[in-house]
Structure formats: C-alpha cells, structure tokens
C-alpha cells in the first residue's frame, strides 16, 4: 500500500487540485542553502528587545537563565550573573516562517459567501503551515554556517518552500487546499479545524505533492489515539523514506493542560528534529517553538498567526515566491505563555531524516516517559498489542464538546 499513490477518492473530491498542482521544486538533488548577506531581512534589534522584555518583564518576577528553541539550547546570562540575551537565540527565532491571517486572496471554492480571508477561522491552518514549513526546511535545506553568519539568511531554496504556502490554489499547501481537503473530513470551508483534522489534511496534501516531486519523498504518519506503531512506520532499510510524525494529543480534561504533563512537553523541545507544538488556546491556535526558564518556572515561546491580517501572499506568474514578500513571514513580536495557561488540545511533531534518527527518537522518548505516569504518547511494536498503559490513556468518560476529534492522553 504505497502511501504516495494518488488515491481516486482524492481526485474525485478535488480534481481541480490535481489540475493546478505544479512541480515548483524541479532540481534533481537535495538543494543546499548558502548564506548571502544581501538576503538578510530580520530586524534583530526588534527581536532582541522583545526577548529582553520576556526574560525580565515589567511587574513579573521572572528572569530566564536559559532557553530551548526546537532542539537547540541557549544560555541567557553570563557566569557573573549579568543578564544578556543570546544573539543566536534571537536569530533562530527570527529565521522561522510565521504565517498569519491574510486577506484579499482569490475566493476559496465551496465557500458561501465566497471567502477571501481566513481571519477569524484559519489560525489552526496557519499554525499547521508553520509546523510543516519547518519540517520542509529541515528536509531540504542544508545550512553551511560559519562563525558570525546569521541563520536567518536564506537563498532561493527557502523561497521555493515559501512558495508552496502562498495564498493561491496553485500552491500545494495554501489555505485554499487545506480548507478544501477539510471538506472531505466533514469541515465546511470557514470552520475551525482541530489538531486531528489538521494533521490528516496535511498528511494527504504531502502525499499528493510528494507524488508530483518524484524525489526525496516524505511520509507523514498521524498517530492514532496518541499511539505510534513501529511496524507501520519502520519497514526495511531499503523502504525507508524521511518521515514527519504528527501526534494529536489531549493533556487532560480540564480547561488547562494538566500540570503533570508539563515536564514531558518541555523536554520535547530538547530533541533534534522536534517540530514544535500547535494549538494551546481554546479555539485559538498558536505555534510553540521553545521555552524560557528560570530556576522555578517556564514560559513557552510562540509565533502568533493572529497578530496581523496581512495582504494575501501571492507568487509571481510562474508560481515563484517574491523575495520582497519574505519580510511578511518573519516574526518581530515573539510572545510567551505561562505553562499554567496552556490549553490541553495540542499537536506535536517530529522530523526523522533517516531510520537511525527514527530509532533514536523512539528510544529517547520511551526513556523520557518511563519515569512519569503522564507520557505524552506511547509506542507499540504493532497494532493490537494488549499492554499496560498509564491511567491517563484510559479515561473513556472524557468528552470535549469544543472539539470531538481530540484524543485524551
């Protein structure tokens, strides 16, 4: 059962998508990114000021001593105790793609009245785009970093990746295509997606796009009931393809995530290939990329799709991304959320380039969760295993009227 076969039900549901989907990535080998100072676009001073504020905000007794951003560790104070913001951390956050609400794009098919903006309903779609874009950048962009070179400087490869997320039907991961594939999942255009719907739609879009690329094919695996089955993922060494794992989770039945999960969630930000966290507020999705911590508490760092309703992101007539638009994808207003205010409905993601990466992820996360009664997800060798699991996985009485897709972990 080849996961890259374009199934007839996709074509029947979205034949228009098949006709307009184009191969915007035509090179035969994995592209490389080389830094060119002429492409620098991040306002580091703005980002520095924001992070300084969050490390020691007015009226709040919180001074971060270290931070983690998507697998990378940063110290935020000198040995002598004088507070400093780490330049590398600023550059790391500033290099991430941030997709926000947009307006003025072509009407989304099947929407009535015709929708030309996703403001008010598309935040989960946008945060899903952010997570997927980060996976593509890990997959396609090999960075050659020399001392003093900011990570945020990108070449045409990153522009091509950005083009895949433009606000037009021709872009494989546009709001148009995510919304239309949601229709097949029972979500009318303009309705709010939950983490599970988002994961399943992105899985299908990657499947279709990978069939068009015919190279370095990516798989997307969506965990069922927060459980990963190794026999459905691994296969033989010859069959291995780079992998994106998307894991919808529900961290408790209350208004906020149960604190027993906080430690496990924060430790995920330490792992190579971690793609971050999507969700986090009721009916209001954010993209969490790291955290700041002092000796007593932690605050999550996130990119916010709600901060602006920008003009539609449109490529040129050849489907290429316009470099002049890149600044609209950069975050100069990084925000924090106290862990105690985190909504329980989330999706986490991982990228594994090689089978060895996958095996390491499985081993490390199993070890991480062995010393807790509240694992974020669990591993099974094969589906149907009848093994003892935490009570947190067994609460069959839980229901959440706000989004019946979520699975309680």
Mean pLDDT over 361-390 rounds to 80
Dihedral through CA 33, CA 37, CA 41, CA 45, nearest 10?
Answer: 120
Burial of 365: CB neighbours in 10 Å, binned 0-12, 13-18, 19+: buried
Q: Is the pLDDT of residue 28 over 90?
A: no
> What pLDDT shows up at residue 82?
55
Q: How many domains, the chain?
A: 1
**222 belongs to a structural domain:** yes
> What pLDDT shows up at residue 75?
82
**CA separation for the pair 234, 106 (Å, rounded):** 41
Q: Is the pLDDT of residue 371 over 90?
A: no
Mean pLDDT over 384-400 rounds to 40
The pair of structure tokens assigned to 201 is: 């739609």
Mean pLDDT over 39-47 rounds to 39
- What pLDDT digit, counting tens, does each position of 85-122 carry? 567 787 788 889 999 999 999 999 988 889 999 999 99
The pair of structure tokens assigned to 95 is: 């290099």
Identify whether 237 is a catalytic site residue: no
The whole domain housing 370 covers: 57-393
- Other Cβ atoms within 10 Å of 81 Cβ, number: 8
**CA separation for the pair 363, 357 (Å, rounded):** 10
The secondary structure of 271-319, three-state, reads: CCCEEEEEEEECCEEEEEEEEEECCCCEEEEEECCCCCEEECCCCCCCC
Provide the CB-side half-sphere exposure for 281 (13 A, CA): 17
> What pLDDT shows up at residue 296?
80
> What pLDDT shows up at residue 80?
57
**401 belongs to a structural domain:** no
Q: Is the pLDDT of residue 22 over 50?
A: no
**CA separation for the pair 137, 404 (Å, rounded):** 32
Provide the CB-side half-sphere exposure for 140 (13 A, CA): 27
> What pLDDT shows up at residue 85?
59
Least confidently predicted of 24-38, 125-139, 153-167, 322-336: 24-38
Report the share of the chain in percent with pLDDT over 90.
Answer: 45
**265 belongs to a structural domain:** yes
The secondary structure of the chain, three-state, reads: CCCCCCCHHHHHHCHHHHHHCCCCCCCCCCCEECCCHHHCCCCHHHHHHHHHHHHCCCCCCCCCCEEEECCEEEECECCCCCECCCHHHHHHHHCCCCCCEEECCCCCCCCCCCCCECCCCCHHHHHHHHHHHHHHHHHHCEECCCCCCCCCCCCHHHHHHHHCCCCCCCCCCCHHHHHHHHHCCCCCCCCCCCHHHHHHHHHHHHHHHHHHHCCCCCEEEECECCEEEHHHHCCCHHHCCCEEEEEEEECCCCCCCCHHHHHHHHHHCCCCCEEEEEEEECCEEEEEEEEEECCCCEEEEEECCCCCEEECCCCCCCCCCCHHHHHHHCCCCCEEEEHHHCCCEEEEEEEECCHHHHHHHHHHHHHHHHCCCCCCCEEECCCCCCCCCCHHHCCCCCCCCCCCCCCCC
> What pLDDT shows up at residue 83?
53
**34 belongs to a structural domain:** no
Q: Is the pLDDT of residue 339 over 80?
A: yes
**43 belongs to a structural domain:** no
**35 belongs to a structural domain:** no
Mean pLDDT over 164-186 rounds to 94
> What pLDDT shows up at residue 49?
44
Catalytic residue (one of 13, 184, 216, 306): 306
Mean pLDDT over 166-185 rounds to 94
Q: Answer for the pair 220, 173: CB distance below 8 angstroms, yes or no.
A: no
Identify whether 55 is a catalytic site residue: no
- What pLDDT digit, counting tens, does each position of 258-313 carry? 999 999 999 999 999 999 999 987 778 999 999 998 878 899 999 999 988 999 99
- What pLDDT digit, counting tens, does each position of 195-231 carry? 999 999 999 999 999 888 776 678 999 998 999 999 8
Dihedral through CA 253, CA 254, CA 260, CA 266, nearest 10?
Answer: 100
**CA separation for the pair 251, 253 (Å, rounded):** 7
Catalytic residue (one of 304, 352, 378, 403): 304
Strand partners, 302: 288, 335
Catalytic residue (one of 55, 118, 123, 176): 123
**16 belongs to a structural domain:** no
> What pLDDT shows up at residue 81?
55
* pLDDT tier for residue 333 given thresholds of 50, 70 and 90: low
**CA separation for the pair 11, 190 (Å, rounded):** 22
Please give the residue that has the higher pLDDT: either 79 or 73.
73
CA–chain centroid gap for 377, Å, is 17
> What pLDDT shows up at residue 325?
79
**61 belongs to a structural domain:** yes
Identify whether 118 is a catalytic site residue: no
Q: Is the pLDDT of residue 136 over 80?
A: yes
pLDDT, the chain, mean: 76
């Amino acid at each position: 059962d080849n996961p890259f076969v374009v199934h007839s039900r996709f074509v029947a549901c979205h034949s228009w998508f098949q006709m307009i989907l184009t191969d915007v990535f035509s090179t035969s080998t994995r592209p490389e990114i080389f830094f060119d100072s002429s492409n620098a676009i991040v306002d580091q001073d703005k980002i520095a000021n924001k992070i300084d504020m969050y490390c020691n905000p007015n009226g709040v007794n919180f001074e971060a001593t270290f931070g983690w951003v998507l697998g990378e560790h940063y110290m935020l104070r000198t040995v002598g105790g004088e507070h400093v913001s780490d330049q590398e951390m600023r550059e790391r956050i500033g290099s991430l793609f941030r997709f926000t609400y947009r307006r003025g794009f072509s009407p989304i098919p099947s929407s009535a009245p015709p929708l030309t903006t996703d403001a008010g309903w598309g935040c989960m779609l946008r945060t899903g785009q952010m997570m997927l874009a980060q996976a593509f950048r890990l997959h396609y962009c090999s960075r050659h970093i020399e001392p003093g070179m900011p990570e945020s400087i990108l070449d045409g490869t990153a522009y091509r990746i950005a083009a895949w997320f433009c606000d037009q039907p021709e872009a494989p991961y546009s709001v148009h295509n995510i919304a239309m594939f949601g229709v097949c999942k029972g979500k009318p255009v303009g309705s709010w997606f939950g983490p599970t719907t988002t994961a399943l739609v992105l899985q299908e879009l990657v499947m279709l796009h990978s069939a068009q690329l015919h190279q370095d094919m990516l798989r997307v695996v969506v965990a069922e009931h927060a459980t990963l089955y190794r026999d459905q993922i691994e296969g033989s060494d010859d069959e291995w393809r780079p992998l994106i794992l998307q894991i919808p989770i529900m961290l408790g039945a209350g208004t906020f995530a149960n604190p027993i999960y906080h430690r496990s969630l924060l430790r995920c930000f330490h792992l190579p290939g971690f793609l971050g966290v999507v969700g986090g507020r009721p009916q209001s999705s954010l993209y969490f990329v790291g955290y700041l911590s002092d000796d007593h508490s932690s605050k999550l760092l996130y990119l916010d799709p709600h901060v602006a309703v920008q003009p539609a992101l449109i490529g040129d007539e050849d489907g290429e991304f316009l470099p002049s638009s890149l600044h609209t994808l950069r975050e100069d207003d990084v925000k924090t959320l106290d862990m105690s205010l985190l909504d329980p409905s989330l999706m986490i993601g991982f990228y594994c380039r090689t089978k060895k990466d996958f095996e390491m992820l499985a081993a490390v996360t199993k070890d991480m969760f062995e010393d807790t009664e509240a694992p974020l997800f669990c591993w099974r060798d094969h589906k149907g295993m009848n093994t003892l699991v935490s009570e947190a996985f067994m609460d069959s009485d839980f229901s959440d009227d706000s989004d019946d897709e979520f699975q309680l972990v």
